């Protein structure tokens, strides 16, 4: 691929014409998505593209389109989500940096499909999960914190690098008390763990999940079941960690055994602990921020990869001053710092 830049237009030429329909999208839908997101104009003439607009925007568009073309060269699909990911890369990456979301080192292999990051922060998170024994993934809903941690765990299990996956959550949910739910303990707790099951089903066939859970290779359990255990040769994930207490968090982190990895994910804007209770996640971040060997990935609304409206919802809530926010249900509240 040759690149010739004329100030201000940018000219791109692609050698493989067979990839162009996939790159441009049906009726040039992918190009239009880049145009609308970055405020540029893109004109296609066969295998030649001309991008015009503000210099920073045209540079971002170039980075995005080149990244998508490189993805297609690797034999990977390009859909709307990948176009949005490339746009985020274009906005955040330095022009000509060569940064990629879809390098081999960042591709997570699962039984169903390869999983790749959709933002530079997700890329940094995957690197941290692969190089650190303990990683904290922090940020709002929809940023892929838990999903990518489960994907990395499945990848390591399939590769034989760990013997089992352990997925856990504190049994505290959005203002509801489990004692009022019908059923035995498992029936009460399973709905709280449903997001972890959903992530697993996106990466492994249902029969394999059932088989691995029966053999103990995959375990999904509430946080209380972790006490007293040493978790060796395992990839352990604690989800919704903002709803732990400091003593629960310390108990969980000290379960780390030989050849084990831990990922702790949470959103400090959605704490459902009783009012006045310090979040164990807040306490851990303050206590462990300078400890060597621990990775931290901090996501923002820019990294939201669900429906685009989710990012705008997160932004709107975060923009309100504290005094304008309605009180939480009785007995629940954000703990003081």
- In our burial notation (b when 16+ CB lie closer than 10 A, e otherwise), range 120-159 reads bbbbbbbbbbbebebbbbbbbbbbbbbbbbbbbbbbbbbe
Distance between CA 144 and CA 202 in Å, rounded?
Answer: 13
* Domains, the chain, with CATH or none: 2-102 (3.30.1370.10), 106-324 (3.40.50.300)
pLDDT tens-place string over residues 165-201 = 999 988 754 444 444 445 544 455 556 677 788 888 8
Q: What is the pLDDT of residue 261?
A: 95
Tokens 């690797």 belong to 74
Tokens 């060269």 belong to 73
pLDDT tens-place string over residues 84-130 = 888 888 887 655 555 667 777 788 888 887 888 888 899 999 999 99
DSSP secondary structure code for residue 135 in this structure: E
Inter-residue contact 149 to 277 (CB < 8 Å) = no
Distance between CA 83 and CA 63 in Å, rounded?
Answer: 11
Task: Answer left, alpha or beta for residue 240, where phi above 0 means left and psi between -120 and 50 means alpha.
Answer: left
Average pLDDT (242-267) is 94
- Phi first, then psi, for residue 182 (nearest 5°) are -75, 160
Task: Name the pTM for this structure.
Answer: 0.77
pLDDT tens-place string over residues 273-313 = 888 889 999 999 999 989 999 999 999 888 887 666 766 77
């Amino acid at each position: 691929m040759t690149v010739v830049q004329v100030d201000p237009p940018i000219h791109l030429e692609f050698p493989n014409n067979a990839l162009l329909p996939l790159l441009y999208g049906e009726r040039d839908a992918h190009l239009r998505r880049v145009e609308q997101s970055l405020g540029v104009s893109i004109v296609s003439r066969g295998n030649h593209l001309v991008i015009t607009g503000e210099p920073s925007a045209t540079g971002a568009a170039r980075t995005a389109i080149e990244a998508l073309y490189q993805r297609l060269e690797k034999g990977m699909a390009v859909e709307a989500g990948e176009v949005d990911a490339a746009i985020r890369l274009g906005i955040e990456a330095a022009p000509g940096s060569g940064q990629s979301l879809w390098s081999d080192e960042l591709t997570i292999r699962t039984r169903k499909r390869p999983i790749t990051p959709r933002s530079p922060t997700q890329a940094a998170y995957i690197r941290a999960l692969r190089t650190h024994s303990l990683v904290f993934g922090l940020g709002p809903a929809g940023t892929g914190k838990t999903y990518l941690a489960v994907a990395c765990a499945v990848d390591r299990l399939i590769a034989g690098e760990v013997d089992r996956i352990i997925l856990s959550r504190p049994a505290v949910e959005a203002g509801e008390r489990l004692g009022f739910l019908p059923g035995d303990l498992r029936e009460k707790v399973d709905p709280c763990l449903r997001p972890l099951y959903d992530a697993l089903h996106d990466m492994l066939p249902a029969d394999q999940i059932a088989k691995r859970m029966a053999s103990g290779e995959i375990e999904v359990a509430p946080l209380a079941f972790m006490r007293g255990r040493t978790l060796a040769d395992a990839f352990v994930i604690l989800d919704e960690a903002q709803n732990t207490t400091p003593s629960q968090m310390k108990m969980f982190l000290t379960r780390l055994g030989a050849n084990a990895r831990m990922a702790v994910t949470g959103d400090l804007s959605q704490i459902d602990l009783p009012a006045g209770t310090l979040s164990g996640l807040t306490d851990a971040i303050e206590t462990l921020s300078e400890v060597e060997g621990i990775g931290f990935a901090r996501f923002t609304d820019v990294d939201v990869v669900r429906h685009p409206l989710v990012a705008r919802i997160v932004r709107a809530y975060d923009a309100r001053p504290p005094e304008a926010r309605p009180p939480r249900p009785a007995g629940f509240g954000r703990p003081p710092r």
